[in-house]
Every structure is written in C-alpha cells, then in structure tokens.
C-alpha cells in the first residue's frame, strides 16, 4: 500500500497501432510502447490485462520457411537422382557382366526410387502453405512420410536378421548347400542381392563399392540437413540411405570371409547391421508417433526459448510454456506476465515483441500462440503473498462492485469527510481477488506528509472493512481540490 500523486503529466503519449496486411509487413519492428496514464476524468484510468490470446500474422518467418523448404527439396531430389542413376548403372553392369545378382540389386534400387519419390512428395506436401482446410499447415505429411520410412527400415532389419539366422543355422547343420548360399545374400523383404557375383568379381565389386560410397555420402548430407531443420523425414531418409550402404558392406564382408574361409563372419556381421538398422527404425518411428499424437517437446528444448521470452522488455515472467512438432515445424504456446495496469494496446505490443524475438532467435518455431496474464508480483511485493493468493482465491465468489463502492464511500465520508472526497473507484480482479484504486480530492493547502498519512490510514480502514481485497491504493487528483476548501 502506498500513496502516489497522480496525473502530473499534462501531455498524453499517443499509442501507435499497426495494421498487419495479408501480404505486407512493415520494414521495421515496433519498439515497446511506453505510456502515461490519462488525467482526464472522462477517460479510463487503468486498463488491466485479464487474459487474452494474441492472433498473429507470421510473414517474418516465411523467408526462413521457404529457404529450408528449398534446401530440403534439393536434397531429396539429389537422393532420388542418385537412386535412379544407381538403378540404371546396376542394370547396365548386370547386363554387360551377365550377373544375376547385380540385376537383382538393380531391381531393389528401383524400389529405392519409389521410396525416395514418396519421401520427396511428403516433404513438398508438408511445405505447402496454409489454407482454409489446413489452418495449421501440412507439417504432419512430413511426419507420416518419416513413419513410412521407419516401417521400411524395420522390415529391412527383419529381413537381414532372418537371412543371417538362416545362414547360421545352415552353418551349424554343416549343410554344404546352405553354406554355399552365403555368397548370395538375399536380404530384406525384396530378397535383395548386394551386387556381388564371384564369376565377375572385379565388375561386381566395383559397382558395390561405388554404390556404398554414393549411399554413405547421401546419408551424411541428408542427416546434417535434417538436424539443421529438425526434420524427422530427412533423418529417416538418411538412415534409409545408410541401410542400403551397410547392407552392401555386409556383402563385401561375406565375400572376404568366404575367401578367408571364415564362414561365420558374414551372418554375424549381418546380425550386427540388422541391430543398427532396427535401432534407427525404432527411434525414428517412435519420434514420428509422438509427433502424430502431439506429444510435448522436451523441456531442455524449451528452456532457451523461455530465456528469450523473459528478456523481452515489459515481460515480468512467463509460465505454461509448451510446444509440439508437426514435421520440421514447431508450434509454441506461452503465457506471459505483464504489468497488470498497462493498457491493452501496450500489453499487445509486448506480446508482438515476444513473438518477433522468438522467430528471430529460434527460426525453427513456425508459430507462437501468446496469452497475456497480469503479473501478481507487481502488486504483491511479499514472496508469500502470491502463494496465499492462489490458495485463498475464490473465482466464483466476489462482492458486488456497488457494495464495495458503497462501503468505501461510507468509510471516507464518515471518517475523512473534511480531508478527502472520492472522485472515482477502479476495480481490478486478480486471481479472484479485488484490487481497488481510489482517486480522491483533498484540500489545496494540505501538507504532502499529512496527505500521505491520511491516505495510508484510509487504506487500512478500507482493507479491514471490505473482504476479498488484497490491496487498496489511494491517489490524489491535483486538478480537483475539495470544493468547500476552494470557495475563497
């Protein structure tokens, strides 16, 4: 509680409102609005920000979204072109060498072309602009594509593991017919051959080594781009490239083991590779399922964003920060706390500054939904008072405003009739509790010290008499002295 002189500024600062057009954004951001309170009796004194949601346009993040989409599409097209080239090269090599294994590998590369085409389509669909039917965008198409590739990885791992176990059982049974099949390596649901044919070792091995190099290079390029953009689809597609590469490595290991006479080397390497692919498939699939059900993103990813929010001028605190993913897009919800007595327009401008700063510092965020709450700490200086307020708040029960005004008028008119006159009473509702601001007129010759003491005494009397109040503030209107003291 305290006594404060009010309305010492004769000039009101006009607030600048900004109109956001659909395809236009001002070249410079708005500074945080500072305001003074109006002294005219016909205008509202305070405007408390109860709680509302800021609807935003998001044009400033469009360039980042477009650039990431162009980079991702370029990488997917590169992978598709590589699969087409490998399929054609393997088919030609198989035709020239007469190797049925390389021809079968070319057929598998054709299936890679189909899968890469689906991945490219999913990525382009996810980057499509928002429309009336999809107001939150199409990011889930990217998640669905990642889930499909994860299922393919799991199937590939299962096929490799099954074949490796089959070879081990054949080796244990000492069946020469089965042992001789260890060079064929039909892995995966499509019975893939790895392009290794002992009748044409130089040509077959050269094509296999080239395929491994291309696929491993695509893995690293796609993985790094996926990590930069936070794209689960790109990460899953990267592992699909690696699955092709390391399964071909198993073929080389099998050939080397056969040459050295170590028959167990091939199936054991196959089991190890199957475990690696299985782990990648489970991780990417699990992440895709979490995104599809709108699971919350980890707290360690939200902490830097919270630090960004609380550093914005005018923000007194934030809570209920949460986020969800839709492909490579991140959506945030946050409640920010502002001065409970700032105007609606000033609070809105603070929210806009928060949104701009988040997009600037965290470009992976596509959209921010901001709720504005009054900061309780601004009127509860004690550390214990906010907790007491939350425990005792009763939103459904509050005295009528007219009863409060009547009680205040009765106290002041009966005890302080010669010292002050009530001009206006402003109510603020915070967590179900009332905060009163009372504007009064006083004699023009009153000493400031006496005025402060009278105001403090009156505040205590009002708090004692009126329940459900957490604070009372009395302010002096300098322009309106008490009439009976102004007659001469």
Helix (H, G, I), strand (E, B) or coil at 42: coil
**The length of the chain, given as a count of residues:** 488
Q: How far apart, in whole angstroms, are the C-alpha atoms of residue 128 and residue 141? A: 10
Distance separating alpha carbons of residues 52 and 431, to the nearest angstrom: 15
pLDDT at 190: 43
- Taking the C-alpha atoms of residue 253 and residue 437, their distance in angstroms, rounded to an integer, is 83
- More confident site: 437 or 391: 437
More confident residue, 358 or 171: 358
| CB distance 193 to 182 below 8 Å | no
pLDDT digits (tens, 9 = 90+) for 318-329: 999 999 988 778
Q: What is the pLDDT of residues 338-389, one digit of tens each?
A: 988 787 888 899 999 999 999 999 988 888 999 998 887 655 544 444 443 4
3-class secondary structure, 486: coil
Q: For residues 329 and 98, which has the higher predicted lDDT (pLDDT)?
A: 329
- Distance, in Å, from the CA atom of 298 to the CA atom of 251, rounded to the nearest integer, reads 40
The Cα–Cα gap between 79 and 202 comes to 26
pLDDT tens per residue across span 298-318: 888 899 999 999 999 999 999
pLDDT of residue 315: 92
Structure tokens at 274: 């199957």
Note the helical H segments in 323-427.
344-361, 385-392, 401-415
What lies within 8 Å, CB to CB, of 381 at 6+ separation is none
Residue 80's H or E segment, with its range, is helix 62-97
Joined tokens for residue 141: 């198409």
Question: How far is residue 474's CA from residue 463's CA, in Å, rounded to a whole number?
Answer: 12
Q: Please name the residues in contact with 396: beta carbons below 8 A apart, sequence gap of 6 or more.
A: 432
- Taken in order 144, 150, 152, 155, the sign of the CA dihedral is negative
Higher pLDDT, 400 or 12: 400
Q: Is 487 helix (H, G, I), strand (E, B) or coil?
A: coil
Residue 303 has a pLDDT of 92
Measured distance CA(89)–CA(103) in Å, rounded: 10
CA distance 115 to 482: 84
Residue of 173, 157, 184, 172 lying closest to 258 (CA atoms): 184
Question: What percent of the chain lies above the pLDDT cut of 70?
Answer: 66
Cα distance from N-terminal residue to C-terminal residue, the chain: 34
Instruction: Label residue 176 by pLDDT band (50, 70, 90).
Output: low
- Would you state the pLDDT for residue 401? 66
| Axis-axis angle for helices 201-229, 62-97 (nearest 10) | 170
pLDDT digits (tens, 9 = 90+) for 433-484: 777 888 888 888 888 888 889 889 988 888 888 877 788 888 887 755 555 5
SS3 40: coil
CA distance 470 to 378: 12
> Global pTM?
0.56
User: Which range, 132-136, 277-281, 357-361, is most confident?
Assistant: 357-361
Q: What is the pLDDT of residue 201?
A: 61
Residues 295, 301, 302, 307: what is their CA dihedral angle, to the nearest 10 degrees? Answer: 180
Facing residues of 335 across strands?
319, 371
Question: pLDDT tens across 50-88, in order?
Answer: 444 444 444 445 555 555 667 778 888 888 888 888 888
Residue 102 CA to residue 81 CA, distance in Å, equals 19
**69 with 127: CB under 8 angstroms?**
yes
Q: Does residue 270 have a pLDDT over 80?
A: no
Region of 334 please: left (phi>0), alpha (psi -120 to 50) or beta: beta
Q: What does pLDDT average to over the chain? A: 72
> So what's the pLDDT on residue 104?
62
Residue 453: helix, strand or coil by DSSP?
Answer: helix
Which band of pLDDT confidence, cut at 50, 70 and 90, is reported for residue 102? low
Count of CB atoms situated within 10 Å of the CB of 303: 11
Place of tokens 């009163």: 436
Q: Specify the residue for token string 């028959």.
A: 263
What structural domains and CATH numbers belong to the chain?
Answer: 63-173+189-293 (1.20.1510.10), 299-374 (3.30.70.1350), 401-478 (3.30.70.1350)
CB 197 within 8 A of CB 108: no
């Amino acid at each position: 509680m305290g006594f404060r002189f009010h309305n010492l500024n004769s000039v009101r600062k006009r607030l600048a409102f900004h109109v956001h057009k659909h395809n236009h954004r001002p070249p410079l951001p708005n500074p945080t609005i500072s305001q003074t309170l109006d002294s005219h009796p016909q205008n509202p004194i305070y405007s408390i920000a109860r709680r509302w949601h800021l609807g935003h346009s998001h044009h400033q993040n469009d360039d980042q979204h477009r650039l990431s989409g162009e980079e991702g599409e370029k990488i997917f097209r590169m992978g598709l072109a590589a699969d087409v080239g490998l399929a054609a090269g393997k088919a030609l090599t198989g035709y020239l060498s007469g190797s049925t294994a390389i021809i079968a590998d070319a057929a598998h590369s054709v299936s890679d072309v189909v899968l890469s085409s689906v991945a490219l389509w999913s990525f382009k669909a996810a980057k499509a602009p928002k429309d009336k039917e999809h107001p939150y965008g199409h990011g889930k198409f990217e998640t669905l594509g990642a889930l499909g590739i994860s299922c393919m990885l799991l199937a590939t791992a299962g096929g490799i593991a099954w074949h490796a176990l089959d070879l081990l059982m054949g080796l244990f049974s000492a069946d020469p017919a089965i042992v001789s099949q260890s060079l064929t390596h039909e892995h995966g649901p499509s019975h893939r051959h790895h392009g290794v044919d002992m009748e044409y070792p130089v040509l077959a091995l050269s094509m296999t080594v080239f395929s491994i190099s291309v696929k491993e290079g695509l893995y690293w390029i796609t993985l790094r781009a996926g990590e930069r953009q936070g794209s689960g689809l790109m990460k899953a597609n990267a592992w699909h490239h690696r699955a092709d590469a390391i399964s071909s490595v198993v073929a080389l290991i099998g050939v080397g083991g056969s040459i050295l006479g170590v028959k167990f080397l091939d199936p054991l390497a196959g089991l190890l590779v199957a475990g690696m692919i299985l782990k990648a498939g489970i991780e990417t699939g699990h992440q895709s399922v979490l995104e599809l059900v709108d699971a919350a993103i980890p707290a360690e990813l939200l902490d830097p964003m919270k630090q960004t929010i609380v550093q914005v001028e005018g923000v007194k605190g934030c809570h209920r920060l949460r986020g969800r993913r839709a492909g490579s897009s991140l959506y945030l919800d946050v409640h920010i706390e502002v001065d409970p007595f700032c105007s609606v327009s000033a609070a809105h401008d603070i929210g806009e500054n928060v949104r701009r700063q988040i997009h600037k510092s965290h470009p992976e965020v596509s959209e921010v939904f901001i709720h504005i709450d009054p900061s309780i700490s601004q009127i509860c200086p004690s550390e214990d008072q906010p907790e007491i307020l939350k425990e005792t708040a009763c939103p459904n029960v509050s005295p009528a405003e007219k009863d409060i005004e009547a009680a205040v008028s009765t106290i002041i008119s009966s005890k302080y009739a010669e010292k002050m006159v009530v001009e206006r009473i402003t109510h603020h509702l915070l967590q179900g509790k009332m905060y009163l601001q009372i504007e009064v007129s006083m004699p023009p010759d009153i000493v400031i010290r006496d005025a402060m003491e009278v105001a403090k005494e009156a505040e205590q009397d009002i708090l004692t008499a009126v329940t459900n109040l957490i604070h009372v503030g009395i302010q002096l209107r300098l322009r309106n002295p008490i009439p009976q003291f102004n007659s001469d």
